[in-house]
Amino acid sequence: MFVPARASGTATATGYNDLYIRDNFSDTGVIPSSGNPCQSPDIIPLQSGSLTWVTANSTYAGPDQGLSIVNGGVNNIYVRARNLNTVAAAGTASLYYADASLFLLPTSWIPVSAAGGSGSVSLVDGAGSASIAAGGVALSSPSFLLTGLPSGPHYCLISVLQTAAHPVQVPASFQTNAAFSVWVQNNPAVGWRNISYQPSGSVQLIRTFSFASINSGPEYFHFRVLGRGFVAGTTVTAQCTDQLCPINQRLTLPAPDVNGNQVTGFDASVPASFSGNLVMTATSPSGAFPPGAVLTMTYYQYPDLNDALEMRAANLFEISRNTEVGPTPVAARLIMIGECTVTVLGG
């Protein structure tokens, strides 16, 4: 579950040559990756079920094997990786969870241990060997075990791979929003799964997301709301009641475009060193939400054109602007900070 992006266009793309974890099914290990960065199919919660290497290998290209987290129940969580090197590789995986957030700073990550209590789990192949052949698929053994979470509707899962050739040092802090975004863009050994599930049959969903800015001065942000599969006219409200950063927006999901996307959003100024909560509420105009519908909120900072690091972190994204003819898609150069997704379960 997560958040920041290794979006395309940050710099000249290069290929990774070690064990890596995907951001999404289209991620091939190119740095920076493209597509949704918060739907890693290689972080696999299976509730009380077990995942064999045979299944992990045969479903590498899909379908997604992940299930929703059962709070207060058994959640076996597996981490899958692939060796992109031309020689064998070995490594371990660590797993964390964090509260639903549009800015998932590592200070909020809570370690998850394996059933035996270890926080670092070996990645093995189908024979149980820790030496993963070139091009081979690896799976964490044993699984990680999550049996309880603090009360709340949604959590993000983060996995970090460690190898001798590419040890990952998770920084304790960052100087700026852009520095955090660039760190994420350049780490194929870090994966996120940021999907919460809404029961089918409901006519309203409510999610609370934390958001922040660590910059030393106020910054201008865009909050994009992207729907897929919702009835046109579904309302989405976004509210922050903190008087340091008041937000009260009422949006409407338009009819889908040719790609099936229903894009809307708004801009807001966020003060220096701010941390607060944003409540997103979606309400159906008629009947229950369609099963399989997906609602995503993405958090972007507008870059300073004179700041080299911010321009390095910025990429072109499609957002929506209100014009005389209604909501119109436009391309904007933005720094992606974080993202949260809600999927309506099938009937």
User: How far is it, in rounded angstroms, from Cα 171 to Cα 148?
Assistant: 27
pLDDT of residue 266: 96
CB-CB contact of 1 with 195 (8 Å): yes
Which residues make up the CATH 2.60.120 domain(s) of the chain?
198-344
pLDDT of residue 37: 65
pLDDT in tens, 246-265: 999 999 999 999 999 999 99
pLDDT of residue 34: 66
**Peptide bond connecting 199 to the previous residue in cis, omega within 30 degrees of 0:** no
For residue 23, with 0-12 CB atoms within 10 Å meaning exposed, 13-18 middle and 19 or more buried, which class applies? Answer: buried
Residue type at 108?
Answer: S
Pick the CATH number of 198-344 from 2.30.29, 3.30.1580, 2.60.120, 3.30.410: 2.60.120
Residue 282 is encoded by which pair of tokens?
A: 């979606």
Nearest to 222, CA basis, from 175, 267, 160: 267
How does strand 326-344 pair with strand 195-198?
parallel
CB-CB contact of 101 with 1 (8 Å): no
Collapsed DSSP state (helix, strand, coil) of residue 35 = coil
Nearest to 226, CA basis, from 307, 291, 318: 318
Nearest to 159, CA basis, from 39, 42, 16: 42
Residue type at 46?
Answer: L
pLDDT of residue 8: 33
pLDDT of residue 172: 86
pLDDT of residue 53: 97
Residue 319 is encoded by which pair of tokens?
A: 């957002």
CB-CB contact of 151 with 100 (8 Å): no
User: How far is it, in rounded angstroms, from Cα 225 to Cα 228?
Assistant: 10
User: How far is it, in rounded angstroms, from Cα 10 to Cα 305?
Assistant: 14
Alpha helices in 134-265 (DSSP H): 177-185
Q: Left (φ > 0), alpha (ψ -120 to 50) or beta: where does 108 sit?
A: alpha
User: How far is it, in rounded angstroms, from Cα 186 to Cα 199?
Assistant: 35
**For the chain, which residues score pLDDT lower than 70?**
1-13, 33-37, 150-154, 347
* Average model confidence (pLDDT) across the chain: 89
